[in-house]
Chains A and B, each alone.
Chain A
Amino acid sequence: MTALAALLARDLRLAVRVGGGALIGIVFFTLVVTLVPFAAGPNLPLLARLGPAILWLGALLASLLALDRLLAMDHEDGTLDLILTARVPLELAVAAKALAHWLTTGLPLVIVAPLLGVLLNLEPKATGTIALTLLAGTPALTFIGLIGAALTVALRRGGLLLTILVLPLTVPVLIFGVAASNAAIAGPVPFGTPFTILCALTLISIVIGPLAAAIALRQGLE
């Protein structure tokens, strides 16, 4: 357990140090969301109707942007070799890394989403709901992304390939995230139905992501 805690603590510390990139996601998310009102024009009802979709798209793209930092840097400098000789299962080690990654890139998106909701003419209740769906859904983005990060870890600058690999897998999360937000704001579907599926997607990806990533890393040992 000490080893996993050390891994988690180190990744959190690295993310907030110089060059750690914890803020890049937030800045990107903010840029995407602030540009939409300029592009769509000052049509307040339209912005409110598109709000959940825009916030979710921004969060999805910001999560993807940060994914190539998840494993690639540890592979480049040899830390991954050390993790493989540590006395912890590789599955748990990559899960700890994914958790640290979500805490530093996913959770900040959830926190700034209500502030950005103001720019999209969303009611406080609506932004709260969207933040809740992001809280439930962004871990799925990170843990699905973990698989792609493990598959592309040996490729230098494999960021774009990683995005293309991961993007289709995240579509269900996007669909049910936006569906749950819309259900709470406009109805007529009860909020619980899509939200439960969103939570299920997250739980499934938390189980499958580390297992698949560990298999991919072991296969990639060459």
Chain B
Amino acid sequence: MIRLVGSDLSCVRGGRQVFSRVGFTVCAGEALLVTGPNGAGKSSLLRLVAGLLQPQHGRLELEGGDLELTMAEQAHYLGHQDALKPSLSVGENLGFWTALLGGQRAKSDDALALVGLGGLAHLPAIYLSAGQRRRLAIARLIAVERPIWLLDEPTSVLDSAAQAMLADLIRAHLSGRGVALVASHGPIGVNGAKQLRLGRQADQGTESP
């Protein structure tokens, strides 16, 4: 059972206080939907958890995780950039991520099929559309198993079928005792997700149905 707890977090970027005194708790099997207006610090919060930003103040703790690894090493960060190399093929891109992040090579083919790119493994990534690029980025979440998913507006370029697919994947991940933090402006199709609203009156995370 893992539990991700952030308490009293403050973040400063470029001299500007993005958010302060933000706290949340996510237990295994739960999703936290991070909402708020543009500039409220949704992406910054996810980057804090991913270890890509340092909090100015506050604590982030992972209970029940692998003690040998840092939190970032147990997390998948899916940001706005897809980290694709246009001159490599779809399969090569995914194969590289899988090896880099410590997954099994065999799972990457299944992952490609699962996100609907099964027949495109040999296509150079430069020919992919924005939605297909995001699908490929999502494939690495499946190819490499990590308990924490940090998804930054994952649905922004996806069509409705892919949004449904992503919701299925998140539900499957949660039922496998993972946690997911999703920054999004809309619903993510996961029932019972906790909600954390960032913005002017940023406060404790509250439950929502």
Interface residues in chain A, defined as those with a beta carbon under 8 Å from any beta carbon in chain B: 2-3, 5-7, 10, 13-14, 17-20, 76-79, 81-88, 221-222
Distance between Cα atoms of A3 and B92 in the complex (Å): 14
Alpha-carbon separation in the docked complex, A84 to B84 (Å): 16
Please encode chain B, from 101 to 123, with 1 for each CB lying within 8 Å of some chain A CB and 0 for all others: 11000000000000000000000
- For A2, give its contact among B52, B53, B102 (CB under 8 Å): B102
Contacting pair A87 B51 (CB below 8 A)? no
For residue B88, which residues in chain A have a CB less than 8 angstroms away from its CB? 10, 13-14, 17
Known: A13-B88, A77-B84. A82 touches B53 (CB 8 A): no
Determine the chain B residues whose CB is within 8 A of the CB of A82 once the complex forms: 77, 83, 97, 100-101
Contact B85 A84 (CB under 8 A): no
A14 and B53 form a contact (CB under 8 A): no
Interface string of B69-90 (1 = CB under 8 A from A): 1001101110111111111100
Query: In the complex, which residues of chain A have a beta carbon less than 8 angstroms from the beta carbon of B72?
Result: 84-85
**Residue contacts A-B, CB under 8 angstroms, 28 given:** A2-B102, A3-B99, A3-B101, A6-B96, A6-B99, A7-B100, A13-B92, A14-B87, A19-B87, A20-B87, A78-B79, A78-B81, A78-B82, A79-B83, A81-B52, A81-B77, A81-B81, A82-B83, A82-B97, A82-B100, A83-B100, A84-B52, A85-B51, A85-B52, A85-B77, A86-B73, A86-B102, A222-B53
Pick the residue among A2, A77, A88 that contacts B81 (CB under 8 A). Answer: A77
Classify chain B: how many residues form its interface, as a range. 20 to 34
A182 to B53 alpha-carbon distance, docked (Å): 50
A77 touches B100 (CB 8 A): no
Task: Identify which of B79, B95, B99, B102 gathers the most chain A CB atoms within 10 Å of its CB.
Answer: B99
- Residues in B with CB closer than 8 Å to A13 are 88, 92
User: Whole-angstrom distance from the CB of A197 to the nearest CB of chain B?
Assistant: 37
B interface residues (Cβ-Cβ under 8 A, vs A):
13-14, 50-54, 69, 72-73, 75-77, 79-88, 92, 95-97, 99-102
Collect the chain A residues with CB atoms within 8 Å of residue B14's CB. 222
B87 and A78 contact, CB distance less than 8 A: no
Give the CA-CA distance A87 to B76 in the complex, in Å: 12
Would you give the shortest CB distance from A155 to chain B, in whole angstroms?
A: 14
Complex Cα distance, B98 from A2, in Å, reads 10
| Contact residues in B for A86 (Cβ distance below 8 Å) | 73, 100-102
Task: Evaluate whether A18 and B100 lie within 8 angstroms (CB atoms) in the complex, with A77-B82, A78-B79, A85-B72 already known.
Answer: no
* A-B contacts besides A82-B101, A85-B72, A86-B101, 10 pairs, CB < 8 Å: A2-B99, A13-B92, A14-B87, A18-B87, A77-B84, A81-B79, A81-B83, A82-B83, A84-B50, A221-B54
Q: In the assembled complex, which residues on chain A have CB atoms less than 8 Å from the CB atom of B79?
A: 78, 81
**Chain B's nearest CB lies how many Å from the CB of A54?**
34
Chain B proximity of A4: nearest CB distance (Å): 9
Which of these, A2, A6, A14, A222, contacts B85 with CB under 8 Å? A14
How far, in whole Å, are A17 and B124 apart by their CA atoms in the complex? 11
Do the beta carbons of A85 and B83 come within 8 Å of each other?
A: no
- A17 cross-chain contacts in B, Cβ below 8 A: 87-88
Q: How far is the CA of A8 from the CA of B100 in the complex (A)?
A: 10
In the assembled complex, which residues on chain B have CB atoms less than 8 Å from the CB atom of A88?
Answer: 100
